[in-house]
A and B are shown apart, each in its own frame.
Chain A
Amino acid sequence: MIVAVMAALLVTMVLALARAFVGPGRYNRILAINMFGTKTVLFVAVAGFLFGRPEFLDIGILYALVNFVAVVAVLRLTHYDDDLADDLADDLADDLADEPATDGEDRA
Protein backbone atom coordinates (compact mmCIF):
# COMPACT_ATOMS: atom_id res chain seq x y z
CA MET A 1 0.00 0.00 0.00
CA ILE A 2 2.78 2.40 0.89
CA VAL A 3 4.34 1.69 -2.50
CA ALA A 4 1.06 2.73 -4.15
CA VAL A 5 1.04 6.00 -2.17
CA MET A 6 4.63 6.58 -3.25
CA ALA A 7 3.66 6.04 -6.89
CA ALA A 8 0.74 8.45 -6.50
CA LEU A 9 3.08 11.06 -5.04
CA LEU A 10 5.58 10.68 -7.87
CA VAL A 11 2.80 10.98 -10.47
CA THR A 12 1.52 14.13 -8.76
CA MET A 13 5.04 15.55 -8.65
CA VAL A 14 5.33 15.08 -12.41
CA LEU A 15 1.93 16.74 -12.95
CA ALA A 16 2.92 19.71 -10.78
CA LEU A 17 6.20 19.90 -12.63
CA ALA A 18 4.38 20.07 -15.95
CA ARG A 19 2.35 23.02 -14.63
CA ALA A 20 5.52 24.69 -13.37
CA PHE A 21 7.13 24.31 -16.79
CA VAL A 22 4.12 25.45 -18.81
CA GLY A 23 3.19 28.41 -16.60
CA PRO A 24 1.85 30.72 -17.91
CA GLY A 25 3.07 33.56 -15.76
CA ARG A 26 4.58 33.80 -12.35
CA TYR A 27 1.62 32.85 -10.18
CA ASN A 28 0.91 29.54 -11.87
CA ARG A 29 4.54 28.62 -11.39
CA ILE A 30 4.60 29.61 -7.71
CA LEU A 31 1.44 27.60 -7.16
CA ALA A 32 2.90 24.53 -8.85
CA ILE A 33 6.21 24.81 -7.01
CA ASN A 34 4.49 25.26 -3.65
CA MET A 35 2.46 22.14 -4.33
CA PHE A 36 5.58 20.28 -5.41
CA GLY A 37 7.18 21.29 -2.11
CA THR A 38 4.39 19.86 0.02
CA LYS A 39 4.53 16.70 -2.07
CA THR A 40 8.23 16.34 -1.23
CA VAL A 41 7.34 16.60 2.46
CA LEU A 42 4.96 13.67 2.00
CA PHE A 43 7.54 11.91 -0.16
CA VAL A 44 10.12 12.04 2.63
CA ALA A 45 7.58 10.85 5.22
CA VAL A 46 6.39 7.97 3.04
CA ALA A 47 9.96 7.04 2.05
CA GLY A 48 10.84 6.85 5.75
CA PHE A 49 8.11 4.26 6.29
CA LEU A 50 8.82 2.43 3.03
CA PHE A 51 12.48 1.87 3.88
CA GLY A 52 12.02 1.58 7.64
CA ARG A 53 13.87 4.78 8.55
CA PRO A 54 11.32 6.98 10.32
CA GLU A 55 13.99 9.46 11.45
CA PHE A 56 13.58 10.90 7.95
CA LEU A 57 10.63 12.76 9.43
CA ASP A 58 12.87 15.49 10.88
CA ILE A 59 13.73 16.36 7.31
CA GLY A 60 10.03 16.49 6.43
CA ILE A 61 9.46 19.15 9.11
CA LEU A 62 12.32 21.19 7.70
CA TYR A 63 10.95 20.94 4.13
CA ALA A 64 7.53 22.13 5.24
CA LEU A 65 9.18 25.12 6.90
CA VAL A 66 11.55 26.22 4.15
CA ASN A 67 8.87 25.70 1.52
CA PHE A 68 6.65 28.23 3.30
CA VAL A 69 9.52 30.70 3.69
CA ALA A 70 10.34 30.37 -0.01
CA VAL A 71 6.75 31.06 -1.07
CA VAL A 72 6.51 34.13 1.16
CA ALA A 73 9.85 35.35 -0.19
CA VAL A 74 8.71 34.91 -3.78
CA LEU A 75 5.56 36.90 -3.10
CA ARG A 76 7.30 39.63 -1.18
CA LEU A 77 10.31 40.14 -3.36
CA THR A 78 8.59 39.98 -6.73
CA HIS A 79 5.42 41.81 -5.85
CA TYR A 80 6.15 45.45 -6.52
CA ASP A 81 8.81 44.74 -9.01
CA ASP A 82 7.42 44.65 -12.48
CA ASP A 83 4.05 44.46 -14.04
CA LEU A 84 2.69 40.99 -14.43
CA ALA A 85 0.92 41.86 -17.66
CA ASP A 86 4.18 43.05 -19.21
CA ASP A 87 5.75 39.83 -18.16
CA LEU A 88 3.02 37.72 -19.72
CA ALA A 89 3.26 39.66 -22.97
CA ASP A 90 7.00 39.22 -22.85
CA ASP A 91 6.67 35.47 -22.39
CA LEU A 92 4.27 35.25 -25.30
CA ALA A 93 6.53 37.28 -27.56
CA ASP A 94 9.43 35.02 -26.62
CA ASP A 95 7.52 31.89 -27.47
CA LEU A 96 6.22 33.22 -30.77
CA ALA A 97 9.36 34.71 -32.22
CA ASP A 98 12.37 33.29 -30.46
CA GLU A 99 15.21 33.18 -32.94
CA PRO A 100 14.50 36.12 -35.32
CA ALA A 101 14.04 38.50 -32.38
CA THR A 102 17.33 37.25 -30.99
CA ASP A 103 19.32 38.33 -34.00
CA GLY A 104 17.48 41.64 -34.22
CA GLU A 105 18.38 42.53 -30.65
CA ASP A 106 21.95 41.58 -31.28
CA ARG A 107 22.33 44.03 -34.17
CA ALA A 108 20.67 46.80 -32.21
Chain B
Amino acid sequence: MIVLDIASVVLLAAGALFVVSGGVGLLRFPDFYTRVHAAGITDSAGAGLILLGLLLRTPSWETGVRLLVIMLFLALTGPTASYVLAFAARRDGVPIWREGDPRR
Protein backbone atom coordinates (compact mmCIF):
# COMPACT_ATOMS: atom_id res chain seq x y z
CA MET B 1 0.00 0.00 0.00
CA ILE B 2 2.80 2.39 0.89
CA VAL B 3 4.30 1.96 -2.58
CA LEU B 4 0.98 2.98 -4.12
CA ASP B 5 0.76 6.01 -1.85
CA ILE B 6 4.25 7.18 -2.77
CA ALA B 7 3.60 6.63 -6.47
CA SER B 8 0.37 8.58 -6.19
CA VAL B 9 2.09 11.48 -4.44
CA VAL B 10 4.82 11.57 -7.09
CA LEU B 11 2.28 11.55 -9.92
CA LEU B 12 0.15 14.24 -8.28
CA ALA B 13 3.18 16.45 -7.64
CA ALA B 14 4.37 16.08 -11.24
CA GLY B 15 0.88 16.83 -12.52
CA ALA B 16 0.56 19.92 -10.32
CA LEU B 17 3.96 21.12 -11.56
CA PHE B 18 2.89 20.71 -15.21
CA VAL B 19 -0.40 22.46 -14.57
CA VAL B 20 1.15 25.48 -12.87
CA SER B 21 4.00 25.80 -15.38
CA GLY B 22 1.46 25.66 -18.21
CA GLY B 23 -0.52 28.39 -16.53
CA VAL B 24 2.57 30.58 -16.18
CA GLY B 25 3.40 29.89 -19.81
CA LEU B 26 -0.07 30.88 -20.93
CA LEU B 27 0.48 34.23 -19.27
CA ARG B 28 4.10 34.86 -20.27
CA PHE B 29 4.55 33.45 -23.78
CA PRO B 30 4.70 36.11 -26.48
CA ASP B 31 1.93 35.15 -28.94
CA PHE B 32 -1.08 32.94 -29.50
CA TYR B 33 0.68 29.98 -31.12
CA THR B 34 3.26 29.64 -28.38
CA ARG B 35 0.53 29.89 -25.78
CA VAL B 36 -1.25 26.91 -27.39
CA HIS B 37 1.77 24.82 -26.35
CA ALA B 38 1.54 26.02 -22.77
CA ALA B 39 -2.19 25.34 -22.55
CA GLY B 40 -1.78 21.97 -24.26
CA ILE B 41 0.70 20.82 -21.61
CA THR B 42 -1.82 21.35 -18.82
CA ASP B 43 -4.53 19.46 -20.69
CA SER B 44 -2.45 16.41 -21.58
CA ALA B 45 0.48 15.95 -19.20
CA GLY B 46 -0.97 17.85 -16.24
CA ALA B 47 -4.48 16.41 -16.35
CA GLY B 48 -3.24 12.91 -17.22
CA LEU B 49 -0.78 12.75 -14.34
CA ILE B 50 -3.20 14.18 -11.78
CA LEU B 51 -5.95 11.76 -12.81
CA LEU B 52 -3.48 8.85 -12.72
CA GLY B 53 -2.43 9.94 -9.25
CA LEU B 54 -6.05 9.98 -8.14
CA LEU B 55 -6.62 6.59 -9.79
CA LEU B 56 -4.04 5.06 -7.45
CA ARG B 57 -6.07 6.09 -4.42
CA THR B 58 -9.58 5.21 -5.57
CA PRO B 59 -11.80 3.68 -2.91
CA SER B 60 -13.87 1.60 -5.35
CA TRP B 61 -13.80 0.38 -8.91
CA GLU B 62 -16.77 2.56 -9.95
CA THR B 63 -14.75 5.66 -9.13
CA GLY B 64 -11.81 4.25 -11.05
CA VAL B 65 -13.96 3.70 -14.14
CA ARG B 66 -15.21 7.30 -13.97
CA LEU B 67 -11.65 8.59 -13.67
CA LEU B 68 -10.66 6.53 -16.71
CA VAL B 69 -13.62 7.92 -18.67
CA ILE B 70 -12.61 11.49 -17.80
CA MET B 71 -9.02 10.67 -18.79
CA LEU B 72 -10.14 9.26 -22.14
CA PHE B 73 -12.40 12.25 -22.75
CA LEU B 74 -9.70 14.79 -21.96
CA ALA B 75 -7.11 12.87 -23.96
CA LEU B 76 -9.40 13.03 -27.01
CA THR B 77 -10.84 16.53 -26.68
CA GLY B 78 -7.82 18.46 -25.35
CA PRO B 79 -5.48 17.98 -28.30
CA THR B 80 -8.39 18.29 -30.75
CA ALA B 81 -9.39 21.65 -29.30
CA SER B 82 -5.78 22.89 -29.40
CA TYR B 83 -5.34 21.76 -33.01
CA VAL B 84 -8.62 23.27 -34.19
CA LEU B 85 -7.92 26.54 -32.41
CA ALA B 86 -4.46 26.89 -33.93
CA PHE B 87 -5.79 25.91 -37.36
CA ALA B 88 -8.61 28.45 -37.21
CA ALA B 89 -6.30 31.19 -35.96
CA ARG B 90 -3.86 30.48 -38.81
CA ARG B 91 -6.72 30.65 -41.30
CA ASP B 92 -7.93 33.92 -39.85
CA GLY B 93 -4.44 35.35 -40.23
CA VAL B 94 -3.35 35.71 -36.63
CA PRO B 95 0.29 36.71 -37.07
CA ILE B 96 3.17 34.51 -35.91
CA TRP B 97 5.66 35.94 -33.45
CA ARG B 98 9.34 36.06 -34.46
CA GLU B 99 12.41 36.77 -32.40
CA GLY B 100 12.50 40.49 -31.69
CA ASP B 101 8.84 41.26 -32.34
CA PRO B 102 6.86 42.96 -29.60
CA ARG B 103 4.71 40.69 -27.42
CA ARG B 104 1.06 40.52 -28.26
Enumerate chain A interface residues (CB-CB to B < 8 A).
1-2, 4-5, 8-9, 11-13, 15-16, 18-19, 24-25, 27-28, 30-32, 34-35, 38-39, 41-42, 45-46, 49, 54, 57-58, 60-61, 64-65, 67-68, 71-72, 75, 79, 84-85
Contact B85 A16 (CB under 8 A): no
Contact A65 B73 (CB under 8 A): yes
Across the interface, A41 reaches (CB within 8 A) one of B22, B23, B58, B70, namely B70
Contact B32 A61 (CB under 8 A): no
Which residue of A has the minimal Cβ distance to B65?
Answer: A57
Enumerate chain B interface residues (CB-CB to A < 8 A).
8-9, 12-13, 15-17, 19-20, 22-24, 26-27, 32, 35-36, 39, 42-43, 46-47, 50-51, 53-54, 57-60, 63, 66-67, 69-70, 73-74, 77-78, 80-81, 84-85, 88-89, 92-94, 104
> A24 and B104 in contact (CB under 8 A), knowing A19-B35, A34-B81, A75-B88?
yes
Contact B70 A34 (CB under 8 A): no
Which residue of B has the minimal Cβ distance to A38?
Answer: B43
Count of A-B contacts judged by CB separation below 8 Å: 131
> A38 and B78 in contact (CB under 8 A), knowing A32-B26, A84-B94?
yes
Of A24, A25, A57, which is in contact with the most chain B CB atoms at under 10 Å from its CB?
A57
| Complex-state Cα separation, A66 to B25, whole angstroms | 25
Contact B93 A84 (CB under 8 A): yes
| Complex-state Cα separation, A72 to B3, whole angstroms | 42
Across the interface, A15 reaches (CB within 8 A) one of B16, B26, B46, namely B26
